[in-house]
């Protein structure tokens, strides 16, 4: 296999297949992994919504208080917010040309995703422990 002399990549870089930032493939695979995890977890949440639709507050609170419901809900929230953060970061990196606003938006995206995830997990745990 011959490579042209104009290639800026080192032989090790060509073997590893990593880009200059060395994180592009990690984001790609993490987004795919969370997407695959979201599929069964989303089906669980949709089923939960269907089964609790029309129930009174006490019945829904009792259902959400079960560990068999709370654990998949927490997994769904973590996976969905992580997937959301990665996807939005890719959009920001692709469509915001200036470096300053790009960094600010990526930070805001990370803090927003963390706040949504933390608030949701807190609410689920509060319901689950009956506090």
pTM for the whole structure: 0.78
Alpha-carbon separation of residue 77 from 6, 18, 24, 67 (angstroms) = 47, 30, 24, 15
pLDDT tens column, 98-112: 999 999 999 999 999
Query: Does residue 106 belong to any structural domain of this protein?
Result: yes
Provide φ and ψ at 68, rounded to 5°: -70, -15
Residue 8 placed within a domain: no
Q: What is the pLDDT of residues 39-86, one digit of tens each?
A: 999 999 999 999 999 999 899 999 998 999 999 999 999 999 999 999
> Is the C-alpha dihedral spanning 15, 17, 23, 28 positive or negative?
negative
Q: Would residue 109 count as lying in a domain? A: yes
Task: Specify if 7 maps to a domain.
Answer: no
Structural domain range at position 97: 23-129
110 in a domain, yes or no?
A: yes
Which strand (E) or helix (H) includes residue 129? Answer: helix 99-129
For the chain, the domain total comes to 1
Whether 114 is covered by a domain: the verdict is yes
16 in a structural domain: no
11 falls within a domain: no
CATH code for position 46: 1.20.1300.10
* Cα distances (Å, whole numbers) of residue 79 to 34, 74, 83, 121: 6, 9, 6, 12
């Amino acid at each position: 296999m011959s490579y042209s002399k104009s290639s800026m990549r080192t032989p090790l870089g060509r073997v590893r297949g990593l880009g200059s930032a060395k994180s592009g493939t990690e984001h790609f695979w993490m987004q795919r992994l969370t997407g695959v995890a979201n599929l069964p977890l989303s089906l669980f949440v949709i089923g939960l919504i269907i089964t609790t639709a029309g129930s009174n507050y006490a019945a829904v609170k009792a259902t959400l208080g079960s560990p068999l419901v709370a654990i998949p809900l927490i997994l769904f929230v973590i996976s969905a917010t992580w997937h959301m953060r990665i996807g939005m970061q890719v959009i920001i990196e692709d469509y915001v040309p200036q470096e300053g606003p790009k960094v600010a938006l990526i930070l805001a995206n990370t803090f927003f995703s963390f706040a949504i995830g933390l608030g949701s997990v807190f609410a689920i745990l509060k319901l689950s422990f009956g506090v």
